Amino acid sequence: MTENNIVLEGKNLTKQFPGVLANDNVNFDLRKGEIHALLGENGAGKSTLMNLLYGLYHPDKGEVMVNGNPATINSPNDAIALGIGMVHQHFMLIPVFTVAENVMLGDETTKRGALDRNTVAQKINQISSQYGLSVDPNALVGDLPVGVQQRIEIIKALYREARILILDEPTAVLTPQEAEDLFRIMRDLTARGVSIIFITHKLKEVLAVADRITVMRAGRVINTVNPSETNSALLANMMVGRQVILTVNKQDRKPEEEILRVENFCVQDQRKLDVLHDVSFTVRSGEILGIAGVQGNGQTELSEALTGLRHPSSGKVLIDGVDVTGKTPRALTKAGLAHIPEDRQRHGLVLNYTVADNMALCDYYRPPFSRRGVIQQKALDDNSRKLIASFDVRTPSPFVNAGKLSGGNQQKVIVARELSRENVKLVIANQPTRGLDVGSIEYIHGEIIKMRDRGVAVLLISAELDEIMALSDRIAVMYRGKIVAIVDAKQPTREQLGLWMAGAHAETA
């Protein structure tokens, strides 16, 4: 039985990309009915490995075995035919289609040339009851919460008779409670003989749900362990390759005068629908206010409207007592705002500009960077050398394009530029560590705390509840465009925050 129950195996897989050995002689196997977690940092090679198993890439060396037989997987269609299904982190669903239509998409059941929704709906109901995945086949996908949409993705794979599921960062968009639900579903599935590869970078989840854990680092498999033989600290060490401090060191600090005041703030989207209703809060000097919430509950709109990228429809914003409602990004920068934007490649950087130019992106127009309308390239270069040294940006030179740097170093370029400005009174950081390696996360957390300790007011927006809990002095929870609670950070438990994130305080919808 020992050999036969391996359903999917990668043997000595090697994949070379220009300049990167993304997978170096990787061995990975999945047993029937287990949850095998694949843990690793951004860039460790997890996605490459999955893409090799799923037929999106072809290995340079090594082979893939399915149920003990060598398999040639040249496309996702081959993978599906072999019973491998993948649930991507970003759902591949069409919001204006019903559940049934989405499930059959690409594999449509027809009756005399017309779509046969009834048969599909029946099959979906059958899968739902069999695996405990309740869902209404006739509901429009766009109306369903994210957790349910994820269920549809799983159903889609099961509908195609997948016996092996690859879940790529499935909990990133879920509340803690929704994640618990997902884990229950995962266990139900494995009990019925489905095998699951669970890709994540969250240590707690791995320990909670996995039967085996494989840790990858820099394109290699470091080790495969059982959860009972390990703990968070050991896993983190394996992931990073050195001792990691999992908690953030932070002294108590008494907040001082009020820096940011937001009053009855409302924002509408393009369709004139409220995406932010009546939000009010304050942030004081020397204080970090963390905004928790599941992604897509108005955090993006809040940070964009506060930083001048979007117009509020009503309400007021004051920085240090001055009304700055609806002011331009430049006016806000002059008023003392430093903004670490949510999407660093879209807003924070010009990827085709050098590191040096990017480090002056917001200040290029004023001395010493510009005199009488002419850019002073030497001043830009000197500035960037100084910042590269003091913020430990790993770049071959200041004249490399920002797009060539790793995500962590790109983020450091932004952090260096924003936090080094001399007049900073308020930092708005939205998802400052998303997708970064542990080392960069530690560093950026340290810099944020340093700013707070220097008496700067910090508004931290993050979908990572752990990050919010580790850094914040006070926590506000957003749900459907409203702030449903603001509390002292020491007060609530993780579970309480999770309930608020799911709208427990909000109107019963």
How many CB atoms within 10 Å of residue 224? Answer: 15
Token digits of residue 278: 């009546």
Q: What is the closest distance, in whole angstroms, from the C-beta atom of residue 102 to other proteins in the complex?
A: 19
Which of residues 302 and 484 has its CB atom nearest to other proteins in the complex?
302
Confirm or reject binding of residue 435 to other proteins (CB under 8 A).
Answer: yes
Token digits of residue 157: 């794979």
Residue choice 138, 246, 365, 367 for contact with other proteins (CB under 8 A): 365
Non-local (6+) Cβ contacts of 10 within 8 A are 26, 27, 28, 29, 49, 52, 53, 62, 63, 64, 65
Residue choice 4, 12, 17, 450 for contact with other proteins (CB under 8 A): 17
Quickly tell me which residue has 């952090």 as its tokens: 415
Quickly tell me which residue has 């059941």 as its tokens: 109
Confirm or reject binding of residue 341 to other proteins (CB under 8 A).
Answer: yes
Helix (H) or strand (E) holding 99: helix 99-104
**Using alpha carbons only, how large is the chain's radius of gyration in Å?**
25
b/e sequence 142-164, b meaning 16+ C-beta within 10 Å = eebebbbbbbbbbbbbbbbebbb
Q: What is the DSSP letter of 72?
A: -
Which amino acid type is present at position 304?
E
Quickly tell me which residue has 């929870």 as its tokens: 477
Confirm or reject binding of residue 285 to other proteins (CB under 8 A).
Answer: no
Contact predicate 221/214, CB 8 Å: yes
Whether residue 368 has a cis bond before it, omega within 30° of 0: yes
How many CB atoms within 10 Å of residue 367? Answer: 10
Span interacting with other proteins, options 27-35, 283-291, 354-362, 422-430, rule CB under 8 A: 354-362
Tell me whether residue 119 is exposed, middle or buried, using C-beta atoms within 10 angstroms of its C-beta: 0 to 12, 13 to 18, 19 or more.
middle
Span interacting with other proteins, options 44-52, 189-197, 317-325, 479-487, rule CB under 8 A: 44-52
Span interacting with other proteins, options 37-45, 131-139, 253-261, 442-450, rule CB under 8 A: 37-45
Quickly tell me which residue has 């204006």 as its tokens: 96
Which of residues 56 and 139 has its CB atom nearest to other proteins in the complex?
56
Helix (H) or strand (E) holding 224: strand 220-225
Which amino acid type is present at position 117?
R
Confirm or reject binding of residue 234 to other proteins (CB under 8 A).
Answer: no
Span interacting with other proteins, options 50-58, 59-67, 181-189, 242-250, rule CB under 8 A: 50-58
Non-local (6+) Cβ contacts of 388 within 8 A are 355, 395, 398, 416
For 458, what's the count of Cα atoms within 13 Å in the CB-facing half-sphere? 32
Q: What is the closest distance, in whole angstroms, from the C-beta atom of residue 137 to other proteins in the complex?
A: 27
Q: What is the closest distance, in whole angstroms, from the C-beta atom of residue 356 to other proteins in the complex?
A: 10
Q: What is the closest distance, in whole angstroms, from the C-beta atom of residue 329 to other proteins in the complex?
A: 5
Contact map string, positions 57 to 96, toward other proteins, x by CB under 8 A: x------------------------------xxx------
Q: What is the closest distance, in whole angstroms, from the C-beta atom of residue 132 to other proteins in the complex?
A: 27
Span interacting with other proteins, options 105-113, 139-147, 350-358, 484-492, rule CB under 8 A: 350-358
Residue choice 101, 381, 447, 473 for contact with other proteins (CB under 8 A): 381
- Strands (E) in 163-203, as ranges, are 164-168, 195-200
Contact map string, positions 144 to 183, toward other proteins, x by CB under 8 A: ------------------------xx--x-----------
Q: What is the closest distance, in whole angstroms, from the C-beta atom of residue 182 to other proteins in the complex?
A: 16
Span interacting with other proteins, options 248-256, 259-267, 274-282, 369-377, rule CB under 8 A: 369-377
- Cα gap 241→223, rounded to integer Å: 12
Which of residues 287 and 342 has its CB atom nearest to other proteins in the complex?
342
Contact map string, positions 201 to 220, toward other proteins, x by CB under 8 A: xx------------------
Residue choice 339, 452, 474, 480 for contact with other proteins (CB under 8 A): 339
Which of residues 321 and 373 has its CB atom nearest to other proteins in the complex?
373
Which of residues 171 and 285 has its CB atom nearest to other proteins in the complex?
171
Which of residues 110 and 377 has its CB atom nearest to other proteins in the complex?
377
Which of residues 192 and 311 has its CB atom nearest to other proteins in the complex?
311
- Cα gap 265→280, rounded to integer Å: 6
Residues forming a β-bridge with 212: 36
Quickly tell me which residue has 């004051």 as its tokens: 318
Give contact residues for other proteins (rule: CB under 8 A). Answer: 17-18, 20, 40-42, 46-47, 50-51, 56-57, 88-90, 168-169, 172, 199-202, 307, 309, 328-330, 333, 339, 341, 346-353, 357, 361-362, 364-365, 370, 373-375, 377-378, 381, 385, 397, 399, 403-404, 434-435
